[in-house]
Chain A
């Protein structure tokens, strides 16, 4: 007899496995659960950290089995130093392969993770973290990206999608990302809509919607988020960043960008886009020039940020620098990164250069003076400065301050 409340269904099995083991695996575990017809619970632990944590791991496993009302089972845990929230996600995933349940075993949502982000915050870098690889998540925040992305889409193998969802949920609750904007990339719709209940209630700041082609898709995600938020009484803002990865998406870019109040930025994914065009992604990127410009235009028209594609050669920092400078020149505000080493370069070169800042300081200074004197015209050395130039200078100053290149109180000591 299986435990009460457990309906046997077609897609359930007697044995559930989740997680990973092997020579390269660290901070993870492989959990195998076998439901038995009697004999109570039998927990078998093999752990690299047995001497230090054996009791606490067993305690966690027992607590979870009781929580999910599993009464007769063999549970095998092969642990390569998994943190408690990882162990919990793996055990839950294994249980849910064997049994139908709506229950969720939530680790504590740490206080440090309960922050909100601003709509127009700096989004120069966002670091992709494969959603089923705990070891890459743990220290991601120390590299100070503007955002981290827990990815449920392309970096997770199809067979691992369900367990990744639980790991990402637990990561959102437990990992301190030290102030980075906490983003999740859900799966392509419609599947991605089912990812939302596992993500939205856990203080996520932003959802990336991949392969977005129509404003309706954005609206669907928006509505689903609103439903969940209403149901759970969530009050924090959750933003959206659609990713345009097809010709149709490029054509619909403005409608997508303005489909919802939640949309704060729009990104482009060039691998899929160039494939859709039937061409190859080249180093110079001529084939995607139209799409990137279109994206920047659409984003600006909708009053949101434009975010560029990732650069995939993680060892070539010089090439990355060129790519960033070109991207910035096209009007992008930031780009994705796939390795922490890229963050520094991206921050450095999306930020205004020292020269740009100095020029902007002069203009803003002249603007302030003109305003004080009640003059309608701003001039430097008898050269007239147009309002858009002032606007751009103000933006450069703002970026300079946000990127740490200029003290916020620069005016107090400024002397041109």
Chain B
């Protein structure tokens, strides 16, 4: 077996096949250019659908049966309800009751609320997951308990896989905060309002069968139709599809940790010194506590300089909305709203625009937004001395996070990772990361509380900081400093068995994850 493994462009050994499908080793950024035509779903005929536009069926199980649910199918769901999703678990509960086996679950992301899915992985209803495996599901997979091999993709990579036919969705189940009987749907109103439904866009267009599930059915027309009813086969009304306080938790606040605030301040200062923060610039900072603090510091600098940003890509929340309303930002191009202020703003403000992985991230698009952003702030669990970074596994080897939009955002003009030099005793900068999720050539700056390391490939940035009083160090110096404090860590120990493959944004395999030795 091992002999047929092939080394990819970042030095990782890639098996010839994943889940019996050929695996293409990562070739380098922008190297893989598949030819041919995009995948197309079966031709539909409107004559087969009710003239009165009423596509309602009594319940989810009926919808799944009518959609032709059977063994081995690929079923998709979406994560716009985040940890408040009540739909995905019910899909597989129904499938399990129907005795269906060996399904592939193709979520846009999973959350701790999906822990019950382990039951359906155990009883054989689900063969494997293609999508993020967070927390309990990741641990389950890392322990080697999943039958098939998990496949991790970025949000953009998911769109790519759908468009080039790598993944063919048999049934998409789209949870909709508001919908009409025709299947038009949006996320702006209703008890489970989440803002937008962009993660479900590809599924609505390419799945063989599409089921819309809602707890806020309104008469036709549902305006705006973020999801077009013309793609939808069935509409199911339910009492409750999400837990509002877990959908838009509103708990994300600017960090109070003095260490994180310091890192945030240093990051903003760096951006200012190198000239990123100028009139008309664009940024994406994310919604974590440190990221929010960076947005706030950006705002302070903009006010002081009397300049504004042309757009911010988001993850929106109250802080970003405040900046939009204050006039510090012309547009928010939003991929998901994290609190009710974000939802409200998207509903009311035409400059707060809903986007999807198609517009923002898709590898098979004729360009996308991610590469136009001046500065992107991202996280990582580990970074190596070549600036390769990991976001999916921890240093102990366990798969605990999804990729999200992280890989896609690496295409921003300046990619900065503000991270503590060590967490508890775990150094972040390693000789080699446990799992490579992003190649070092796309990662420009690491900002830690003990210094800033600039990727040597970025001679322009090194030049720009030459005369500044920023605490600059090499990545090797940072690594040594962490190891002096923490001790040199051993690497995690693995079994041979591969439990997941990590796809690059173009569909090639950048790394694999193995079962943890326990």
Contact residues of A with B, CB < 8 Å?
A: 26-27, 48-56, 80-84, 110, 138-139, 142-143, 339-341
Contacts and interface: CB of A to CB of B under 8 A. Distances in A.
B425 A82 contact: yes
A23 to B, nearest CB: 14
A142 B259 contact: yes
A51 B490 contact: yes
Q: Report the contact-size class of chain B (Cβ under 8 Å from the partner).
A: 20 to 34
B395 interface: yes
A49 B449 CA distance: 21
B310 interface: no
Interface string B308-347: 0000000000000000000000000000000000000000
Contacts of A80: 424
Nearest to A342: B258
A83 B490 contact: no
B395 A51 contact: yes
Contacts of A55: 490
A341 to B, nearest CB: 5
A83 B485 CA distance: 7
B38 interface: no
Closest 4 CB pairs of A and B: A81-B424, A52-B489, A340-B258, A51-B396
A52 B259 contact: no
B262 A51 contact: no
A84 B423 CA distance: 14
Interface of B: 258-259, 261-262, 395-397, 423-426, 449-450, 484-487, 489-490, 492-493
B259 A83 contact: no
Contact of A49 (B258, B261, B397, B424): B424
Contacts of A82: 425
Given A51-B493, A53-B487, A139-B449, 9 more contacts: A48-B424, A50-B396, A51-B490, A52-B396, A52-B489, A53-B425, A80-B424, A81-B425, A340-B259
Nearest to B450: A142
A416 to B, nearest CB: 27
Contacts of B484: 110
22 contacts: A26-B424, A27-B424, A27-B425, A48-B425, A49-B425, A51-B490, A52-B395, A52-B425, A52-B489, A53-B489, A54-B490, A56-B487, A80-B424, A81-B423, A81-B426, A83-B487, A84-B487, A110-B484, A142-B450, A143-B262, A341-B258, A341-B261
Nearest to A79: B425
Nearest to B423: A81
A143 B424 contact: no
Contacts of B450: 142
A49 B492 CA distance: 10
Contact of B425 (A83, A142, A341): A83
Contacts of A83: 425, 485-487
A53 B78 CA distance: 38
Given A53-B425, A81-B425, A82-B425, A139 B261 contact: no
Nearest to A340: B258
A49 to B, nearest CB: 5
Contacts of A26: 424
A143 B423 CA distance: 18
Contacts of B485: 83, 138
A51 B397 contact: yes
A338 to B, nearest CB: 11
A204 B487 CA distance: 24
Contact of A52 (B261, B262, B449, B490): B490
